[in-house]
Structures are given as C-alpha cells and as structure tokens.
Amino acid sequence: MGVGTTRSLERMLAALGQLQAAPIEFAPAVEVPLGGVWCALPALLGCGLLRRTRENFELPPGFYSLETIFLLLAFLALARVRSLEALRYQPPGEWGKLLGLDRVPEVKTLRAKLALLCADPERPRAWSSTLAEEWMAADPETAGTLYIDGHVRLYHGTLTKLPRRYVSRQRLCLRGTTEYQNS
C-alpha cells in the first residue's frame, strides 16, 4: 500500500469491494503546498463543478469517490499541472491533504477512473449541456454575444495608417484590424 498510507483499513475494504468511497477527513496541517487552490473552491462550486455529477456519472465502489476525482482534476488545473502524467512528479501525500485523503490516486488509477467516466460520450455532453443551460438561465443578458476569437487581419497597403495589433504567430505588432466572431 505504500509508505504514505495512513488509512490502510479503508483501502483494504475498498479493495474487497466493501466500501463505496472513503470518507473525506481533514487533519490539522501546517504549510500545505498549493493550499491556495482552496480559495477557488467556492467559485468552482458556484459554477457547478459538483452539481448533477451523480445524475450523469457513476463509479464502481472504491477508495476514491466521484467528487474526489472532480475536485482533484479542478485543483490540478488551478495549480497548472500540465497533464495527468505530470502528476507522477507531484507529492501524492501533499495533494491528498488538499482532498482530505491520505494521498491522491496514481496516474494509472486516475486514467482508469476517467475512462469509466467517459466511456459513454453522451454523459459528459449531457452534464456540460445541463450546466450551460443553468448558466444561461441564471443570467440571460450575457447569453447574446460571446467573445470566441480575436483574429488580426494584417494590412499591407499604404492608403491608411491602421493601429498596430499584436500578431501572436509572428510575435510582432503590425498594422491591421481585429475581427471578432460572435455566436
């Protein structure tokens, strides 16, 4: 089970299929690295990160609950961990303290859980569609025009002096106009 395991009884019960999910238990800790991601938790919950997850997703009994997986993925994104592979180089015990567990799942386990959650592509689509409908219903005035992309169209002529725009593909400020796509 590893050196960092402090909840071996619960892990054993989960391995035998007798535990639906390990309960979240926070312990007093000092100087938890990346603990600032907890500051974003109210915003994540307000946007609906865990809303309607049980209606659209399910996991078989195991140590890690559905909510734990979703929170871990959100915290990884907030901490700018670039990929699931990069989780291999993060301290699992410190990340576990953030989630109220003894450690986070290994990359192999996390990939297996994500494969189960995304096995039916209609489930994530239904979840995100439901959340989008709720967001639009909550503030319908903002649903009119959404900024999608600002594309700079360069001007090569000499008839007028257009303002300079930053062109990312050339890493220069060049004269041109910015087009916006609306939806």
The residue range of the domain holding 42 is 8-142
CB 34 within 8 A of CB 98: yes
Same domain, 119 and 168: no
Same domain, 47 and 89: yes
Residue 150, phi then psi, degrees to nearest 5? -110, 110
Mean pLDDT on 142-159? 73
When the pLDDT of each residue in the chain is averaged and rounded to a whole number, the result is 85
Structure tokens at 139: 């503030």
Same domain, 93 and 172: no
Residue 2 in this model has a pLDDT that exceeds 80: no
Same domain, 113 and 167: no
Residue 84, in any domain of the structure: yes
Residue 159, in any domain of the structure: yes
Residue 175, phi then psi, degrees to nearest 5? -75, 135
Radius of gyration of the chain (CA): 22
CA distance 63 to 166: 49
pLDDT score for 18: 81
Residue 3, in any domain of the structure: no
Same domain, 53 and 110: yes
pLDDT digits (tens, 9 = 90+) for 83-107: 999 999 988 888 888 888 888 889 9
Amino acid at 69: I
pLDDT score for 1: 59
Structure tokens at 74: 């959100």
> How many domains is the chain built from?
2
Cα 58 to Cα 5, 67, 175, distances in angstroms: 25, 10, 53
3-class DSSP state for residue 117?
helix
Same domain, 156 and 130: no
Same domain, 156 and 129: no
Structure tokens at 10: 């619960």
Same domain, 28 and 77: yes
Give the pLDDT band of residue 113 (cuts 50, 70, 90). very high
CB atoms within 10 A of CB 147: 9
Nearest to 81 by CA among 100, 104, 59: 104
pLDDT score for 76: 93
